[in-house]
Amino acid sequence: MGGRFANVNNNGIVLPEADYLAAYGMTNDGPDTTPPTVVSVTRLDPSPTNAASVRFLVTFSEAVSGQDVSNFHVEASGMTGASITQMSNCPGATCTITVGVGSGSGTLRLDVWDDDTIKDAANIPLGGIGIGNGDFTSGELYDVQHYELYLPFILK
């Protein structure tokens, strides 16, 4: 590709191609054809923890919209009652998910479940078209320790 361009919208000024594309808010790469993906799920709070709730940061490869609570799943091991209590700073390239940790001690992980409702600005769904191909299940764990719950029994 190459060449120089004149356009009625820039008063007939001749521009090199790259400048022309930049002037009209485009890039040389053409339209976005790359599906968004989940890059990481990381802890925003300390671990181990005995807090009643913890936050996860979900990072996408580009800005997306359409995240809803059904896209996120708390994988709890050794605990009961853990659930998502808040979503914040979505949509965008990140999303903060607050999880109520429930009771017991164990580990908590936040998974992303792809149902093609999360899409980038070009309307391409997470992982491409297809439910489940954008799943992310390998995020950071919280180590939840609620040993204080057992203390009264130990003291008896």
Contact residues: Ca ion, CB under 5 A: 32, 34, 114, 116, 120, 125-127, 130, 133-134
Indicate the residue among 15 and 131 with the shorter CB distance to Ca ion.
131
The helix/strand/coil state of 152 is: helix
Question: CA angle, corner 115, sides to 109 and 116, nearest 5?
Answer: 125
Structure tokens at 66: 């359409």
CB of 97 to Ca ion, least distance (A): 19
d(CA 97, CA 57): 6
CB of 87 to Ca ion, least distance (A): 19
CB of 91 to Ca ion, least distance (A): 14
Indicate the residue among 36 and 106 with the shorter CB distance to Ca ion.
36
CB of 95 to Ca ion, least distance (A): 16
- Residues 57 and 142 sit within 8 Å (Cβ to Cβ): no
Indicate the residue among 56 and 60 with the shorter CB distance to Ca ion.
60
Indicate the residue among 102 and 125 with the shorter CB distance to Ca ion.
125
d(CA 135, CA 153): 42
Residue keyed to tokens 């479940």? 113
